[in-house]
Chains A and B, each alone.
Chain A
């Protein structure tokens, strides 16, 4: 059946995918969550624990960093990954942005 053709990626495509992953590892992206005076501290901590699976200690520390420093890098990874996380944060009502890692340390 002709359908089986589609299950094997072409060698060129595999190579391209691999190199894209490598590049993402070399230049990771950061997900930044910004402070706002509206969202409850308990809610932000809840989101960090349930969405990212962070421990209560880590979630609280990140939440306090957002609160006191105005922003916190809560995740790092490939661009696609942190963009997906940014959408999730926006859906939770948190303001999140993505940036190249190292822009602000």
Chain B
């Protein structure tokens, strides 16, 4: 099977089958829905405008908590304070990346510029974090166990976990090829930069 993401002369390109695009759109949509804040109707509009969520609390859903983690391990008040001032924009930024990636799926062949690739990388990461939480991947051993589920023909129709595991492995594969392509693009950019830069050449 050809790599879904590849780096070439024109940049990073991505290509998916129709069924894969449909699957990814659904995953992106689900994570966007998870990230949407449950706005209280009596919310202070000024606080909303400047991006503060006065009542922000640690999410109860472990998957959402993984996307919006605490910033301190031992200072709950510091974590709450940080959350009040940053959580809303983090939610919006993540949802924005997921929406941008979903929009890119409108065409079968994608050519990703640097910003689009970054959106895809965070979108796929967030999908994997949510699926991993649903699959109970908490240790390296869990991850290996899930990684072994690779054959669609092994999955019974009603085996939701096995289906999720296959989806997780598929998204992991996408992420692997995307990060490889981004790394190559980054190396190419930085080595070009060195050639064109104001190095010591000519200054004996």
Contacts and interface: CB of A to CB of B under 8 A. Distances in A.
Interface of A: 37-40, 42-43, 46, 49-50, 83, 86-87, 90-93, 95-99
Contacts, number: 72
A37 B86 contact: no
Contact of B138 (A37, A40, A43, A96): A37
Contact of B132 (A37, A49, A97): A37
B105 to A, nearest CB: 20
B9 to A, nearest CB: 21
A39 B143 contact: no
Contacts of A83: 71, 82
Contacts of A50: 186
A43 B183 CA distance: 9
B182 interface: yes
B68 A90 contact: yes
Given A38-B132, A43-B121, A91-B122, A97 B72 contact: yes
Contacts of A99: 72-74
Nearest to B141: A37
B interface SS class:
helix
Interface stretch (B41-49, B156-164, B172-180): B172-180
B72 A37 contact: no
Nearest to A38: B132
A46 B66 contact: no
B122 A87 contact: no
B188 interface: no
Interface in B30-74: 66-74
Contact of B179 (A43, A86, A87, A90): A43
